[in-house]
Amino acid sequence: MSGGVDSSTAAASLARQGFEVIGITMKVWEDAGLTDESNRRCCSAADVEDARRVCALANIPHYVSNAKAAFRRYVVDPFCKEYLRGRTPNPCIVCNTERKFRLMLRRARTLGASHIATGHYARIERDEESGRYLLLKGRDAAKEQSYFLYGLTQSQLLHILFPLGDLTKTQVRRRARELGLPTARKPESQEICFVTDGDYRKLIERFVPGKFTPGPILDVNGRELGRHKGIANYTIGQRRGLGIAHPRPLYVVSLNPQKNAVVVGTSEHVWAHELVADDLNWISIRTLREPMRVKARIRYKHTESPARVIPLEPNRVLVRFEHPQRAITPGQAVVFYDADVVVGGGTISSVGK
């Protein structure tokens, strides 16, 4: 329970349905900035208190679990390292995979619970023909969160409930009001919870000091156009902050950590038809043995696009889009869909033409 309206409504609804419910809030981060309500981030002391209030109202036992060390190890440290490698990570996916489900399932079992439930906007069904558990999009197209959950395994899906999967956000807030929950009108948390002032660069410098090494800004032909202050300051598709006078707008096309170089080009250089992904997880299928047509999403708010997923070797695929995609970014996740069903996904490792 994060202390937000979604997890609060999920817990109170299950209790109302007759489930024996235990509320767990995992304490993952402590920073003065998190107490500022204007930040609209989760994990603050106020959020823990909100979760406790909801549990008291619903007559649910509430526990706070210290997961700070695991969060630092699995989420924050890799986040910093990925940026320094010239990649743009998605810490919310890692947080879901490692903290909210792997660690939470372990904690739930110690308390004698058979399932864990969260406030995610997603659904789980069992395919009778294959016997596999399927992850589906939530009904609310504007809020659905299946993209962040592609790393779930069959053994985890067996023990997970998503009580809000068939609801819209409007319906959730209405139900929270009907249940008398104090979080019913609470604003949604936004941004990365551990980047307290919105500047991830300061966080990297704080935890991995001295790694912002200046280097060249090159055009796509290798000609030096300027200097940068560290590749971790840049992301694919970025236009602002390059500090280069040029007759046409320039964008970051790629980052080369071996040469410590930022490569820039014009708008046409930001588009690509292909990517390679690794660190794969399959949900609706056991493994990919032959090319498969899917709809692929290369970032959370990205519109899915038709593509073929082609196996290259174990744990590695080539994704070839029918139409070019803008700013495909190594480090981000690519998730594959068959209609509403999540086929699987992986981490983008490189970008083709």
Residues 172, 299 within the same domain: no
Query: Are 260 and 276 members of one domain?
Result: no
Q: What is the pLDDT of residue 315?
A: 93
Short-list 281, 325, 264, CA closest to 146: 281
158 occurs within a structural domain:
no
* pLDDT on residue 31: 54
- Whats the size of the chain, residue-wise? 353
Question: Which residue in the block uniquely carries the two structure tokens 């660690």?
Answer: 103
User: Are 173 and 284 in a shared domain?
Assistant: no
Do residues 17 and 105 both lie within one domain? yes
Taking the C-alpha atoms of residue 307 and residue 147, their distance in angstroms, rounded to an integer, is 16
| Token pair for 336 | 């594959």
Q: For helices 5-16 and 45-57, what crossing angle results, to 10°?
A: 20
The verdict on whether 43 is a catalytic residue reads no
53: CB partners within 8 A, 6+ apart: 182
Asked if the structure places residue 220 within a domain, the reply is yes
Instruction: Tell me: do 50 and 170 sit in the same domain.
Output: yes
Strand locations in the chain, DSSP E? 23-27, 62-66, 116-117, 122-126, 133-137, 160-161, 215-219, 224-228, 251-256, 261-265, 271-282, 292-297, 305-313, 316-326, 333-338, 341-351
Q: What is the CATH number of the domain that holds 279?
A: 2.40.30.10
Residues 313 and 340 in one domain: yes
- Regarding whether 94 and 14 lie in a shared domain, the answer is yes
**Count: domains in the chain:** 3
Query: Which structural domain, as residue segments, surrounds residue 35?
Result: 5-119+163-178
CA 282 to chain centre: 17
Q: Name the β-bridge partners of 22.
A: none
Residue at 189 is within a domain: no
Residues 30, 172: one domain? yes
193 included as an active-site residue: yes
* Domain-located, residue 136: no
Same domain? For 253 and 171 the reply is no
Set 42, 43, 80, 193: catalytic member: 193
Q: Is 346 helix (H, G, I), strand (E, B) or coil?
A: strand
Residue 222 belongs to domain with CATH number: 2.30.30.280
254 and 287 both lie in a single domain:
no
Q: Do 92 and 17 sit in the same domain of this protein?
A: yes
Q: What is the pLDDT of residue 38?
A: 43
Per-residue pLDDT of the chain (353 residues; tens, 9 = 90+): 999 999 999 999 999 999 999 999 988 876 534 444 444 456 678 899 999 999 999 999 999 988 889 899 999 999 999 999 999 999 999 999 888 898 889 888 888 999 999 999 999 999 999 999 999 999 999 999 999 999 999 999 999 999 999 999 999 999 999 999 999 999 887 668 888 777 899 999 999 998 899 999 999 999 999 999 999 999 999 999 999 999 999 999 999 999 999 999 999 999 999 999 999 999 999 999 999 999 999 999 899 999 999 999 889 999 999 999 999 999 999 999 999 999 999 999 999 87
Q: What is the DSSP letter of 42?
A: S
Beta strands 271-282 and 341-351, pairing class: antiparallel
CA distances 26 to 71, 175, 313, Å, are 10, 25, 37
The reply to whether 278 falls in a domain is yes
Q: Do 98 and 39 belong together in one domain?
A: yes
pLDDT for 190 equals 66
Backbone angles phi, psi at 260, to 5 degrees: 50, 45
SS3 263: strand
Q: Flag whether 155 is in a domain.
A: no
